[in-house]
């Protein structure tokens, strides 16, 4: 039996395709479990190699599993399923992943998919493939949904597997794509998950629902063992709340230090944990932490409470300072509410500018327009108000809820948030920081590869080209000295 795993063709968020292609870790886990049971498996990463039919002809899979983690990819995956079935209706198609879990009914009723796997996929997919190959009852396979005699069946879910038992992901199956994986300007990026789920329950987030509000962790030994085997210099921890267990994070730090592992890290953390543990941040900086993503979400405690964030503005500010004091770049995300008026946009802009300035401009603000995503409480509350069913637009930069301001005005003020908080001088300042030498080299390489100088020249901005050339020269000097 030859199951094949594919990732989606193209993300619909502008810019993400180019600069954010991480290895398909979920599929690598599934593949590890199938290989262990003697199946032949391959991974086709369609973000890099879009030729599906060529791959099917070559590999001749009997089962294809495809991943749908993003609401923005739902239409894409439905098209992919149609394409596979058109090519060979005998191939069994299975969809799994974060969003497939919450939209199982939709996939079953609006596409030709044979099975949906809900929640963690390792054991469910392995059992399903076993039943499809050797025979058996799909009704016995937990976590799967399918249609039988015109009726939708959603089998119950199994207990969550302790992460300590997880097999290592079959990373070798994407060796052919490895050089292409990147995270913004980081090249040679490896991805690792060390926890799953989150103990909090923010109303706009679906992560905690996916993992039944449980927070599972891998032991520090298992994490560091995995890190040691990864050849990449840059590591993206794709946990949603990496620091939650601070004793564990401290132990991982100690082990990385003891073993002399030399890598650069990015993780996502809550501001309250950072605010309470400045020493832990200092230690992680020492072993290579370069960037942290923090969901600040709002600039008033009242707004935070409404989102059920269970955090404070004071923690947000404290965390930003701690990160900046350690020379760590903060990606700080804010949510733009549909009821925002001009004053709210102004207040947010001023707040972010102040935060940025106070923290030596080591701050990348990010602005997400409130988007009820399937699986979240917010979706349940607001789904009748959503103005479009086109999932391509559920990417946090489109307006899908009615706004208080006229739409055009809202959009204009939204764009202004970015144009007023980013400028070349700020980027240059950040990248001239010695700590970012490797990132900056990567950034320069990326810019040249994607034709930035040509782009600037074409738009008749030689002065900008000159400016960038000076920044690069300055950077080279800093690097050499």
Q: Which residues bind ligand SF4 (CB under 6 A)?
A: 198, 200-202, 205, 207-208, 240-241, 270, 295
Residue from the set 45, 63, 111, 125 that interacts with ligand B12 by CB under 6 A: 125
Looking at 4, 9, 29, 61, which residue binds ligand B12 (CB under 6 A)? 29
Least distance from ligand B12 to the Cβ atom of residue 314, Å: 23
Which strands sit side by side in the sheet containing 182-183, from one edge to the other? 20-21, 182-183, 186-187
Which residue stretch of 24-32, 36-44, 276-284, 355-363 sits at the interface with ligand B12 (rule: CB under 6 A)? 24-32
Does 138 help bind ligand B12 (rule: CB under 6 A)? no
Based on the shown chain and the rule CB under 6 A, indicate whether residue 340 belongs to the binding site for ligand B12: no
Question: Strand 186-187 and strand 182-183: pairing?
Answer: antiparallel
**Contact (CB, 8 A) for 312 and 270:** no
Residue that the structure tokens 């392995």 belong to:
126
Cα dihedral 198/246/235/282 (nearest 10):
140
Residue 270 near which of ligand B12, ligand SF4, none (CB within 5-8 Å, type-dependent) = ligand SF4
Q: Min. distance of Cβ 361 from ligand B12 in angstroms?
A: 22
65 near ligand B12, rule: CB under 6 A: yes
Tell me how far apart the alpha carbons of residues 101 and 125 are, in angstroms, rounded to a whole number: 13
> How many residues in the chain?
481
Do 421 and 356 form a contact (C-beta atoms < 8 A)?
yes
Angstrom distances, CA of residue 363 to CA of 93, 382, 383: 43, 32, 33
**Candidate ranges 34-42, 217-225, 340-348, 372-380; the one touching ligand B12 (CB under 6 A):** 372-380
Query: What is the rounded distance in angstroms from the CA atom of residue 277 to the CA atom of residue 322?
Result: 9
Restricting to residues 374-403, which ones interact with ligand B12 according to CB under 6 A?
Answer: 374-375, 395-396
Question: How do beta strands 20-21 and 182-183 pair?
Answer: antiparallel
The DSSP result for 215-266, as a single string, is: -EE--HHHHHHHHHH---SEEEE--SSTTSSHHHHHHHHHHHHHHT---EEE
Q: Taking the complex as a whole, how short is the minimal distance between the CB of residue 201 and ligand SF4, in angstroms?
A: 6
State yes or no: residue 61 binds ligand B12 (CB under 6 A): no
From 318, 235, 233, 239, select the one nearest 273 (Cα to Cα).
318
Among 235, 373, 393, 428, binds ligand B12 (CB under 6 A): 373
Window of 96-104, 148-156, 217-225, 413-421 that interacts with ligand B12 by CB under 6 A: 96-104
- Go through 84-117 and write b for each residue having 16 or more CB atoms within 10 A of its CB, e for each that does not: bbeeeeebbbbbbbbbbbbbbebbbeebebbbbb
Q: Residue 253 corresponds to which tokens in the numbers above?
A: 């730090």
Least Cβ distance, residue 202 to ligand SF4 (angstroms): 3
Q: Could you say whether residue 241 binds ligand B12 (CB under 6 A)?
A: no
Q: Which does 198 bind (CB under 5 to 8 A by kind): ligand SF4, ligand B12, none?
A: ligand SF4
C-beta of 104 vs 243, nearer to ligand SF4: 243
Residues 6+ apart with CB under 8 A from 311: 270, 271, 272, 304
Select from ligand SF4, ligand B12, none the partner in contact with residue 421, using the beta carbon and a kind-dependent cut-off of 5 to 8 Å: none
Chain centroid to CA 150: how far?
36
Should residue 84 be labelled a site residue for ligand B12 when binding is judged by CB under 6 A? no
Is position 74 an interface residue for ligand B12 (rule: CB under 6 A)?
Answer: no
Q: Which residues contact 97 (CB under 8 A, 6 or more apart)?
A: 26, 67, 68, 69, 121
Q: How far is the CB of 216 from ligand B12 (least distance, A)?
A: 11
Exactly one of 16, 59, 446, 467 binds ligand B12 (CB under 6 A); that residue is: 16
SS3 call for 334: strand
d(CA 166, CA 122): 9
Cβ pair 289, 253 in contact under 8 A: no
Site for ligand B12 in 209-238 (CB under 6 A): 238
What is the DSSP secondary-structure string of 164-204?
Answer: GGPPPP-GGGGTTTGGG-EETTEESEEEE--EES-S---TT
Q: Spell out the residues 6+ positions from residue 48 whose beta carbon is closer than 8 angstroms to its own.
A: 21, 177, 180
Q: Given the complex with ligand SF4, which of 240 and 439 has the nearer CB atom?
A: 240
Q: Which of 52, 81, 97, 267 lies at the binding interface for ligand B12 (CB under 6 A)?
A: 97
Which does residue 201 bind out of ligand B12, ligand SF4, none, counting CB within 5 to 8 angstroms by kind? Answer: ligand SF4
Closest CB to ligand B12 among residues 21, 413: 21
Which range in 82-90, 368-376, 419-427, 439-447 contacts ligand B12 by CB under 6 A? 368-376
State in angstroms the smallest separation of the CB of 456 from ligand B12: 25
Q: Which does 208 bind (CB under 5 to 8 A by kind): ligand B12, ligand SF4, none?
A: ligand SF4
Taking the complex as a whole, how short is the minimal distance between the CB of residue 438 and ligand B12, in angstroms?
20
108 interface partner picked from ligand SF4, ligand B12, none, CB below 5 to 8 A per type:
none
Residues of the shown chain interacting with ligand B12 in the complex, contacts defined by CB under 6 A: 11-13, 16, 20-22, 25-26, 29-30, 65-67, 69-73, 94-99, 117, 120-122, 125, 193, 205-207, 238, 240, 368, 373-375, 395-396
């Amino acid at each position: 039996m030859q199951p094949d795993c594919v990732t989606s063709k193209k993300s619909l968020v502008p810019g993400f395709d180019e600069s954010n292609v991480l290895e398909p870790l979920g599929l690598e886990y599934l593949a590890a479990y199938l290989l262990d049971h003697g199946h032949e498996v391959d991974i086709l990463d369609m973000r890099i190699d879009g030729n599906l039919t060529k791959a099917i002809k070559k590999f001749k899979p009997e089962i294809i599993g495809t991943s749908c983690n993003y609401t923005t990819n739902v239409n894409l995956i439905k098209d992919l399923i149609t394409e596979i079935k058109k090519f060979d209706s005998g191939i069994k198609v299975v969809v799994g992943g974060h969003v497939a879990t919450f939209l199982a009914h939709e996939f079953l009723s609006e596409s030709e998919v044979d099975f949906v796997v809900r929640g963690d996929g390792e054991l469910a997919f392995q059992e399903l493939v076993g039943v499809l190959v050797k025979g058996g009852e799909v009704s016995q396979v937990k976590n799967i949904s399918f249609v039988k005699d015109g009726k939708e069946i959603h089998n119950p879910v199994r207990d969550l597997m302790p992460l300590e038992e997880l097999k290592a992901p079959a990373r070798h199956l994407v060796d052919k794509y490895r050089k292409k994986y990147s995270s913004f300007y980081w090249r040679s990026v490896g991805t690792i998950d060390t926890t799953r789920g989150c103990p909090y329950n923010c109303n706009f987030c679906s992560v905690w629902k996916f993992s039944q509000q449980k927070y599972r962790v891998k032991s520090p030994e298992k994490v560091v063992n995995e890190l040691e085997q990864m050849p990449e210099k840059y590591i993206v921890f794709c946990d949603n709340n990496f620091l939650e267990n601070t004793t564990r994070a401290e132990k991982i730090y100690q082990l990385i230090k003891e073993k002399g592992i030399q890598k650069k890290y990015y993780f996502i953390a809550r501001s309250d944990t950072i605010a309470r543990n400045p020493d832990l941040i200092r230690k992680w900086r020492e072993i290579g932490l370069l960037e942290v993503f923090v969901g600040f979400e709002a600039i008033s405690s009242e707004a935070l409470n409404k989102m059920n964030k269970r955090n404070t503005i004071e923690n947000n500010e404290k965390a930003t300072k701690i990160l900046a004091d350690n020379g760590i770049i903060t990606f700080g995300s804010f949510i733009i509410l549909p009821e925002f008026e001009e004053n709210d946009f102004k207040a947010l802009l001023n707040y972010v500018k102040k935060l940025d300035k106070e923290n030596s401009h080591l701050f990348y603000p990010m602005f997400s327009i409130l988007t009820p995503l399937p699986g979240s409480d917010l979706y349940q509350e607001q789904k009748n108000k959503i103005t479009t069913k086109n999932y391509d637009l559920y990417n946090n930069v489109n307006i899908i809820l009615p706004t208080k301001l006229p739409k055009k005005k809202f959009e204009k003020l939204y764009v202004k948030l970015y144009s007023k908080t980013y400028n070349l001088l700020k980027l240059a300042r950040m990248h001239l920081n010695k700590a970012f030498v490797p990132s900056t080299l990567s950034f320069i390489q990326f810019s040249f590869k994607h034709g930035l100088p040509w782009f600037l020249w074409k738009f008749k901005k030689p002065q900008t080209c000159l400016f960038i050339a000076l920044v690069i020269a300055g950077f080279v000097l800093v690097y050499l000295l």
